[in-house]
Amino acid sequence: MGRRGLPRTVHRSPRLPQGREFAQTVAESARDVFHPLIVITRGLQALAVSGRRRWAETPRERRGSAVLLAASCLAIVALVPYGPPLATVSLLAAGAWAGRARRTQRTQDPEPAEAARLQALYEALVPYLSDPQDPRPLYEHGGSWRKAFDEYVFDDRGRLAALQLRYPGWFTDGENASRARIEQLLRLKAGRDREYGFDWDESANRLCLTVLPPLPTDVRAQRFVTAPGETVLGFTDPEAVQRTLPVADGDELHDASPVVWRTGPRSAEPHLLALGRPGAGVTTLLRSVLLQALPHGDAVIVDGGGTGEYAALAGRHGVLAVESSLTGALAVLEWAGHETERRLMAVNSARQQGHPVPEDARRPLWIVVDRPVALSRLAAAQGRPDPQMLLQVPLFNGRVANVTVAIGEQLDAEGLLDAQVRTQALARVLLGGVTSEQVLAALGTPARSTTVDDVPPGRGYARLGSGPVHRLQVPATPDPYDEDAGEAQRQAVLDLLPEAVFPTVPTTPAYPAADQAT
């Protein structure tokens, strides 16, 4: 103690951070030291996830060639001088770049209105992603959105355009119902008038939400660059498929990402079922499929609605019949069943004798039936055979006999379709403004994006076999005799119509038998 009357000088050392401040300082120092390693590790993980996803999306028939190509590249790298070190450096550089690309897009604090939106979204997620027994809750009442939202992007109008959030490890992200609740909530909070894509990363417990751009609706019917046996159902998002096609838009060409359906003896989904609301574009889809199939095969058409939507195809080369009456439909479908059996016997005989398959059995035959439930109801009222029962032989044996069945029906009549139709038609298309429950019921798995109520004609979803669900926009293929359609679209369909001929009606025992039954 100093002498009285003199001020006492107190020397204090600088205050050291304690508790949370000290831990935060240590964490920041460690982050600065190990930041390059963290970036490279994160990038390598991203590359591994992307490679696994691409491998899962690669068709099985192409996996062998992909493995052979990868093995060849590895062998070349191993034989080249300094090849392994250079390959290692290149891999680390790619990981660093991928990790840098995945860094947060949040470069500055959001505006007060944007922060309020994020906080409201966080509080809405608390009842779904919180647990009283969680010792370190990520979502809690009164918490902050900053500890749960890693990345966010707002557009020029102040609306949420992208969001990456973390969720607890105990959340049941493998159940469709749990996912649907979170997706529906995010859609309501971010805006109902837009489509949102969801990317669930189960390994990292992260969910990425992005606003999906609208699919182009100005693609008209045209000759697409495809191989025989390939049919373009429509176009989807560029990141959803690994293929592009040149598409003509007036005098200009641009690339588009198609949903390609493969038919024929080696197809895993040889038959198509298209469902949709009235006016959603199911008939447009079937007409587009026919215009792509007729240059390489023959077709019989049954118009159960009787609206005359296929009148422009009557009498054209390759179109064997266009029927809308019950009597004509029964005759055509019975002939198609006998023709399938004849082709099947021809194929089996040729294989047993070691001869090539005859040309009349190799040329594709298409059976297109629009609204079969209407014909089934009419047949039941008149005590006639059900037309859907006549499709069983083509559905069961069509793949071997090179016979393809394409069926279109309204969504509210799906329950009246024959069980064999729903079982054998593994290529599915759902058109119109539908709900997520309807997508799950019709396609067997939920879509990766939310649905909207107001959609243009030909807009929907497609799934081929056990593959993922793709957003789909069918090419504009209106009835060329419809005066309400655009002139350019009608002219495009007229240019694709086969030349008019006088078709020969197939003469088989099926037609006299059907006439006698009537």
Give the pLDDT of residue 57: 65
DSSP calls for 241-301: -S--EEEEETTEEEEEEEEEEE-STT-S---EEEEE-TTSSHHHHHHHHHHHHTTTSEEEE
Do residues 319 and 294 touch, judged by C-beta distance below 8 A? Answer: yes
Give the pLDDT of residue 459: 94
Q: Give the strands of the sheet with 206-211, arranged side by side.
A: 149-154, 160-166, 206-211, 196-201
For residue 191, what are the contacts with CB-CB under 8 A and spacing of at least 6?
159, 160
SS3 for 383-436 is CCCCHHHHHHHHHHHHHHHCEEEEEEEEHHHHHHCCHHHHHHCCEEEEECCCCH
In 3D space, the residue among 221, 242, 372, 225 whose CA is nearest the CA of residue 285 turns out to be 221
Mean pLDDT for back-to-back runs of 10 residues, the chain (518 residues): 36 38 47 64 78 72 80 82 83 77 49 89 93 88 90 86 92 90 90 87 92 89 92 93 87 89 92 94 96 95 92 94 95 96 94 91 95 95 94 94 96 92 94 90 89 86 94 94 89 93 49 39
Distance in angstroms (rounded) separating the CA atoms of residues 93 and 50: 16
Give the pLDDT of residue 69: 83
Distance in angstroms (rounded) separating the CA atoms of residues 138 and 148: 6
Give the pLDDT of residue 37: 75
Q: H or E segment at 234?
A: strand 230-236
In 3D space, the residue among 328, 326, 327, 330 whose CA is nearest the CA of residue 338 turns out to be 330
Distance in angstroms (rounded) separating the CA atoms of residues 99 and 43: 4
In 3D space, the residue among 182, 189, 64, 79 whose CA is nearest the CA of residue 129 turns out to be 182
Give the pLDDT of residue 58: 72
- Find tokens 């690309």 and name the residue: 101
Total-model pTM? 0.74
Tell me the residue length of the chain. 518
- Kindly report the backbone phi and psi dihedral angles of residue 321, in degrees, each rounded to the nearest multiple of 5, phi listed first: -165, 145
Give the pLDDT of residue 108: 53
233: tokens are 């159902």
Catalogue all structural domains in the chain, each as residue range(s) with its CATH number.
112-211 (no CATH), 230-517 (3.40.50.300)
Give the pLDDT of residue 338: 96
